[in-house]
Chains A and B, each alone.
Chain A
Amino acid sequence: MARRPEYQAPPEIFYNESEAKKYSQNSRIIGIQSEMSERALELLALPEDAEGLFLLDIGCGSGLSGESISEQGHHWIGMDISAAMLEVAIDREVRGDLIMADMGDGVPFRAGTFDGAISISALQWLCNVDKSYHHPVKRLAKFFSGLYAALSRGSRAVFQFYPESGDQVDLITQQAMKAGFTGGLVIDYPNSAKAKKMFLVLFTGGQQRLPSALGTENEVNHAQFTKREKVRTRNSKNVKSRVEWIKEKKERRRKQGKEAKPDTKYTGRRRAGHGF
């Protein structure tokens, strides 16, 4: 197997003119990138009838992924660290607008700008230490918190990526959760060395069902991550609802001959003015 690109040079060096050329001329690469982009857009689950949404393409490169967005009638901004890749995108006259930026420094847009984000084959680069001052955990944290802010509430971000190990997947998902996202991994064709593709699907609007993976028959093909404290459910035997708990506590006090306010329909209700 070829050495992983991430081991060879920093992205702005690795994606030089000759590498960038492949992303406009090599039909095999173009085919793979486009196919993954379309799958990512499917996982983004944009409202069926919505045309003209505004999306972010992270690590947009020569704009192959962005073109899939344009084909579906949506608008996009692409950000990438490589000048050579962006030049190719300009030459190909992609419809999206482009900025040169390092996602590890954050996502430099106003809050709530985008209706969704995709990223194809770029996220694993953030785990690199390419400069002496690079700290992957910090860069991932900056990136995900910046992305979370730049997305409108209820929207999603979908990343196709090539993690080098399970530890790297954990590192990435942990930082995504810390930033406020929920979601998990969707692994298409998990049993095929060639066709296997990993997607990190992130939600801004609280826990949702993960979409199902392709190429899997009746097996567990995705891993949802949740914060521990959120897993507690009301219905489970040992956990009582807030109201039940308060009523029982009052009952105990009464039995002990102590004072307790009578139960009313307001018992255990949250008071106005308190967020929850």
Chain B
Amino acid sequence: MKLLTHNMLTSKAIKGVQTGFPLNIVVKKTKTVETEFSSEFIQRMLPKLDWPAFLKAAQTLGVGSQLPDSPPTETTDETVLRSIHHALVEVEVIEGELICPETERKFPISNGIPNMLLNEDEI
């Protein structure tokens, strides 16, 4: 799971949960996969990102130190965009957990895939 996915993912499918965002992350294992940098894509995603959630998640994964405190605006130099790219799409949680902020329900992440399946009594 990339942090880009984490920044969009919610647990609101659980009955009674209002926003279910951001999910708390428990990290057991991460992996870094180099991917092609596209400033166009990062800039396109910036307005969609929940910045505080991204910062917190990046810190949990130990890749937050290079990131600015608030989302960069128009005049952004490439170094900043590259550090965002790195934290957003290159670092992946391979083993760990996501935790619903409202119900504490745990969703296991294994082999890089968060298991968001719900039980009968949760829907």
Q: Are B8 and A77 in contact (CB under 8 A)?
A: yes
For A75, list chain B residues within 8 Å (CB).
4, 41, 89
Q: A95-103, A170-178, A193-201, A239-247: which one contacts chain B?
A: A95-103
Q: Are A98 and B112 in contact (CB under 8 A)?
A: yes
Q: Are A100 and B40 in contact (CB under 8 A)?
A: no
For A131, list chain B residues within 8 Å (CB).
120
CB contact under 8 A between A95 and B35, given known A106-B12, A108-B13: yes
- Count CB-based A-B contacts (< 8 Å): 75
The distance from the CB of B120 to the nearest CB of chain A, in whole angstroms, is: 5
For B4, list chain A residues within 8 Å (CB).
75, 97
Q: Are B116 and A100 in contact (CB under 8 A)?
A: yes
Q: Does A105 contact B (CB under 8 A)?
A: yes
Q: Are A101 and B117 in contact (CB under 8 A)?
A: yes
The count of residues in chain A whose C-beta lies closer than 8 Å to any C-beta of chain B is 29
Please report the C-alpha to C-alpha distance between residue A22 and residue B4 in the assembled complex, in whole angstroms: 30
Within the complex, which residue of A79, A97, A133 is in contact with B2, where a contact is CB–CB below 8 Å? A97
Q: Are A99 and B5 in contact (CB under 8 A)?
A: yes
Q: Does A31 contact B (CB under 8 A)?
A: no
Chosen A-B contacts, 10 in total, with CB atoms closer than 8 Å, are A90-B111, A97-B2, A99-B114, A100-B113, A100-B115, A105-B118, A110-B9, A110-B21, A112-B48, A113-B48
- The chain B residues found within 8 Å of chain A, CB to CB, are 1-2, 4-5, 8-13, 20-21, 35, 38, 40-41, 44-45, 48, 50, 89, 92, 111-118, 120, 123
Extra pairs beyond A99-B113, A110-B8 (12, CB < 8 Å)? A51-B41, A52-B41, A53-B44, A75-B41, A77-B8, A97-B4, A99-B9, A108-B9, A108-B12, A108-B116, A109-B9, A110-B50
- The chain A residues found within 8 Å of chain B, CB to CB, are 51-54, 75, 77, 79, 81, 83, 86-87, 90, 95, 97-102, 105-106, 108-110, 112-113, 131, 133, 146
